[in-house]
Structure 1
Amino acid sequence: MLTGTLPFLSDLTRSARFTGCVYKLTEISAAGTRLTQPLIPRWSHPDEGIRATMTSTLTLPPVITSTAHISTPARRRFAAPAVGVLAGLIAAVGSGTPSYWGDEAASVLSAGRSLPSLFHMLDHVDAVHAAYYLFLHFWMSVVGTSEAAVRFPSAIAVGFAAAGTLTLGRQLFGLRLGIVAGLVFAILPQVTRMGAEARSYAFAIAAAVWLTVWLVSLVRHGEVRRRAWLLYGVAAAAATYLFLYLVLLVAVHITVVVAFHASRTVVRRWAEAMTVAAVCAAPILYAGLSQRGQIKFLAHRDYATAWSVLVGQWFSTPLFAALAWALIAVGALTAVGRSRRSHLPSVIVVLVWFAVPTMLLLAGNAWVSPMYNLRYLAFCTPAVALLLALGLDGIGSPIRSHQWRRVALVIGLVALLAAASPRYIAQRGPFAKDGGSDLRQTADVVAAHASVGGAIVFDSSGKPSRKPRLALDLYPQSFTGLTDVALVKGYVDRPALWDQVAPTDSISALILPHDTVWVVESGQDRAEIDAVRGLGYRIEKSFPVHRTTVYELSKE
């Protein structure tokens, strides 16, 4: 609707003060904009109000010459949900095929405890994952513990994150580029991995992007109401309970406030919100610091490498990484060029989100204590998707024809999809997790061949998250009737993640009463086999699984 004034009032109404009228838009064409309305002028009269109805047709200058770039309300309304559903489906398909691996075992076993046992454990370890474990506790009580069911919430979170990426792209660069960013996000290898993982990373991505959408909206609208900002601050604090490393997002949000030239009042409100967030997040920050010893294993892992940062962190394969870095370079260069100068603040925000959290984490890893893991920066994937979308758009910028620019954009998307597809398929293989986790398949072999009355012994070497006895805890129904002779105390009775077990060479008296002993060895290690054979048992059969081998031994 348009509001204007009439230059053709009659003599009768000249004594009145005209206040305006309403025009109805009926036609848009290259020749001009034609407006026709049933007209009810609004005026005041010294003596009495006078009502009149008349019609008029006006032809305005050709302000709008094309409808090609008009985003219809329906397109705006349904684009984000549609891309979100697509991304969620991509993440969910095949997610139940791979076996659980060690980190997921921590999630499933922790969430499967009784609430008193869970809270007792959280007092000693993994407090930073408390919110996710509590959610998973109630989720598993409804849907069970199958891989597909437990991983499904992560796929849903990826869907929300894709919708958020599109929304943020629309805020910063327009709807078309937002849609491209949402589609690119849906196929990023790190995103499709986290969408099929029973960990909190997908939730962290969704929280990060929607918090940023919220902040951009508050800043751009010049919101000054204290209540709106306090809600944002509480939400920011809540996100840290979901994933502690989201505190790094503060650097990005400072950039939003500065780049978009927020007023002094808005800056003050943001500072107040961050103060509230810091107070609310203090307990989880304290818990993280007090339990920081649980990530001391990072000191023994060479994670902070050029390959991790440039390839593994977001792109997984050298081919996808090469294509992605080329597009990022194109996007950054074209976005700060003359045709994109109005987008410079938006580009700065995205570049900071893309680079600064990684730089801060690497600096802390080098100079404070080990803290880098490529999974910890999954919350930066929306920025990666936005930069790739800028690159795809930049490829076609020299092309004058809008049609051929769209063709170039589609070709770029197809190239990214082709580069991502092999990794996506590999992520949905039966041994896709942690370099070949075969916990479920090992449990299936034992269930198929073992009989009631035997003893079972597990390889106790290696790091806890790779020990094959996790198969027993994750799939206990497959080990019914077998005696776990090495168990000292189960994980549910301990303030720790894993079972307490005795060394095999110290439990001879518990093994000897059994005629059959099943030994589960990981890799090339044969310590448990040698220990059992030393008690007078011989190998009857072996069942290679993947990286695990199941042996059946009987008394000689």
Structure 2
Amino acid sequence: MWRDEAATWQVARRSTADIWHLLDQVDAVHGLYYLLMHALFSCFGPGTTTLRLPSVLAVAVAAGCVTVIGARLAGNPAGMGAGLALGLLPAVQFHLQEGRPYALVMAGTAVSTLLLVVLLERPASWWWAAYGVTVLLCGLLNWLALLVLVAHAVTLCWTRAGRGTWVRWASASGAAVAGTAPLILFSRHQSEQISWIPPLTWHMLIGPAILLAIGTLGAVLDRPLPGRPSLASVALPLLAVPLLALTGISLIKPLFLDRYVLFGQLGLTLLIGTALGRAIAATAPRFPRTARLILPLALLSALGALLPYSLAKRAPESRVDDVLSAADRVHHLKHPGDAVLFIPAARRDTALVSPDAFVGLRDIALAETPLASGTLKGVEAEPSRIRTAIRRSDRILLVTDAPGVAKRDSARRDKAKRATLRRYFRAVADETVRGRRVTVYERLPAPVRGAAPRSCPADQGAGSSGADRSR
């Protein structure tokens, strides 16, 4: 369980009232998802299966939807190829197995796109209502999912939809946007929590450019069925518009994370299915037996080529850190009555997810618990009080990030913790496990207290030297 899943875990285990209290302070954009996971934890009990199974089922729903879309617009081979390919896409493999809302957004987008395809052929009022509700739910899970409406507008232009279709689509879309608007406006006050996202650079666009090139090739190969919209008119906007829109937004405010537009992968998989369908259709007249082998051989080849990646993404080392492993090290290194510190304070998630591992330890920097403060990491005391609490302790466990993950200390409280430990304590144990670090400090003997500050291995990676910064 890594840090993002740890947030889901600890919030979902709070009461509904406590979740609302939290959302007033932070993470309002994930409010619906947290409430959903709270309901599932209440029904089935907290566990990693309950945490992650919704994402797995969501990708299964998305795969079923793209299969139906591909079959309706480009034939059964294209639909089957698209549905089977979805689970092989690297980005989808990463997110289908973790407890975060992005796979659910992709499933909702797939359902809304299927509804749009059906409505282009057979308009029905209640289906337009279902379309609007589905888009609204996607927006409440992640309001950037509303970019799918821009993609669908491009599809309507491409297919030259009639005036009545445009009016009904605009009504359903307007209702979805209006329902999401309060969340968008409120979450702007919490924009500080995404301040860590780096500015957009050209090398961040290499991957998206490759995906767009592959998708464009699939669109060129598309051959619409008689009386049906072309698959390219649905799939290419779904792939390209969210990526390009997020890129444009990120030029103004750094916001470029591929998981925010994971649902665009639906367009890519549909275009891959189109290419497979065209290959089968071109081969079938002269080599019917060979044509039947194209789809299974292509998918088996892709599976074989991606197998090392797939296995790597299912290993604990695939995430930036591991909350549970760090808690296990604390459990083995602690002594009764020890104090514990966290740098940064967000690493307190280790204790929140595995409280049993911290039984007997004193969190000497904490002034107000996460539950009482309505936050994810609690409220810590002023630096002067933290210094005093550290100097009154004889043995302290420090939970922080591993050197390859750690960022330079920026908060005054964290600088005070590090400086006081360096001056009055020495590291007697130091263990790094999967992106997290647990260091045991013991007080220096009294005669040595007036000596110059000593460095120790635990200070490496704190960003205090030029070598550390370059690393």
TM range (shorter): 0.7 to 0.9
Q: Kindly indicate whether residue 2 of structure 2 is the aligned counterpart of residue 116 of structure 1.
A: no
Which deviations, in whole Å up to 9, do the C-alpha atoms of 1:321-352 show, x marking residues without a partner?
A: 6xx7775454233225xx87877632122111
The 2-side partners of 1:385 and 1:431 are apart by 27
Which deviations, in whole Å up to 9, do the C-alpha atoms of 1:437-488 show, x marking residues without a partner?
A: 032111101112322211112233xxx6xx5332112211111111111112
Alignment of 1:76-475 (within 5 A): 99-101=1-3, 103-223=4-124, 225=125, 227-298=126-197, 301-302=198-199, 304-311=200-207, 328=215, 330-335=217-222, 345-366=230-251, 368-396=252-280, 398-399=282-283, 400-434=286-320, 437-460=321-344, 467-475=346-354
SS at match of 2:316: coil
Per-residue deviation, 1:376? 0.6
The 1-side partners of 2:392 and 2:34 are apart by 40
Q: Which amino acid aligns with 2:220?
A: L
Per-residue deviation, 1:549? 2.9
Question: Could you tell me the TM-score, scaled by structure 1's length?
Answer: 0.71
- The 8 Å contact of residues 66 and 110 in structure 2, kept in 1 or not, is answered as yes
The 1-side partners of 2:79 and 2:418 are apart by 58
Per-residue deviation, 1:534? 2.5
Which deviations, in whole Å up to 9, do the C-alpha atoms of 1:107-142 show, x marking residues without a partner?
A: 223223222222122123222211101111122234
Higher relative contact order (CA 8 A, sep 6+): 2
- The 8 Å contact of residues 343 and 401 in structure 2, kept in 1 or not, is answered as yes
The 1-side partners of 2:78 and 2:350 are apart by 45
Cα 1:128/1:549, change in 2 over 3 Å: closer
Q: Which amino acid aligns with 1:496?
A: T
- The 8 Å contact of residues 33 and 141 in structure 2, kept in 1 or not, is answered as yes
How many residue pairs are counted as aligned between the two chains? 432
Residue in structure 2 matching 1:481, options 346, 360, 378: 360
SS at match of 1:297: coil
The 2-side partners of 1:450 and 1:292 are apart by 37
Q: Which amino acid aligns with 1:405?
A: A
SS at match of 1:553: strand
Question: Could you tell me the TM-score, scaled by structure 2's length?
Answer: 0.83
Cα 1:407/1:503, change in 2 over 3 Å: farther
Gaps of 5+ in 1: 1-98, 315-320
- The 8 Å contact of residues 189 and 424 in structure 1, kept in 2 or not, is answered as yes
Q: Which residue does the alignment assign to 2:386?
A: 507
SS at match of 2:399: strand
- The 8 Å contact of residues 490 and 499 in structure 1, kept in 2 or not, is answered as yes
- The 8 Å contact of residues 328 and 390 in structure 1, kept in 2 or not, is answered as no
- The 8 Å contact of residues 129 and 243 in structure 1, kept in 2 or not, is answered as yes
Cα 1:272/1:517, change in 2 over 3 Å: closer
Cα 1:375/1:483, change in 2 over 3 Å: same
Which of the two has greater helix per residue?
2
- The 8 Å contact of residues 115 and 127 in structure 2, kept in 1 or not, is answered as no
The 1-side partners of 2:160 and 2:388 are apart by 75
Which of the two has greater strand per residue?
1
Which deviations, in whole Å up to 9, do the C-alpha atoms of 1:151-188 show, x marking residues without a partner?
A: 12111111111111112112221222111101000111
- The 8 Å contact of residues 110 and 133 in structure 1, kept in 2 or not, is answered as yes
Which deviations, in whole Å up to 9, do the C-alpha atoms of 1:361-383 show, x marking residues without a partner?
A: 111221x3232211111011111
What is the identity percentage for the equivalent residue pairs of Structure 1 and Structure 2? Answer: 27
Which deviations, in whole Å up to 9, do the C-alpha atoms of 1:482-537 show, x marking residues without a partner?
A: 111111212112243322224777434423454432223433479756633532x4
The 2-side partners of 1:306 and 1:242 are apart by 29
Cα 1:335/1:233, change in 2 over 3 Å: same
The 1-side partners of 2:119 and 2:56 are apart by 28
- The 8 Å contact of residues 168 and 209 in structure 1, kept in 2 or not, is answered as no
Which moved further from structure 2: 138-147 or 446-455?
138-147
Q: Which residue does the alignment assign to 1:22?
A: none
SS at match of 1:511: helix
The structure with more radius of gyration: 1
Q: Which amino acid aligns with 2:376?
A: L
SS at match of 1:507: helix
- The 8 Å contact of residues 340 and 396 in structure 2, kept in 1 or not, is answered as yes
The 2-side partners of 1:343 and 1:359 are apart by 27
- Report the RMSD for the aligned CA atoms in angstroms: 2.8
Q: Which amino acid aligns with 1:549?
A: R
- The 8 Å contact of residues 454 and 516 in structure 1, kept in 2 or not, is answered as yes
Residue in structure 1 matching 2:433, options 545, 548, 551: 545
SS at match of 1:481: coil
- The 8 Å contact of residues 259 and 345 in structure 1, kept in 2 or not, is answered as no
SS at match of 1:541: strand
Per-residue deviation, 1:354? 1.0
The 2-side partners of 1:549 and 1:297 are apart by 21
The 2-side partners of 1:252 and 1:394 are apart by 24
SS at match of 1:469: helix
Per-residue deviation, 1:307? 4.3
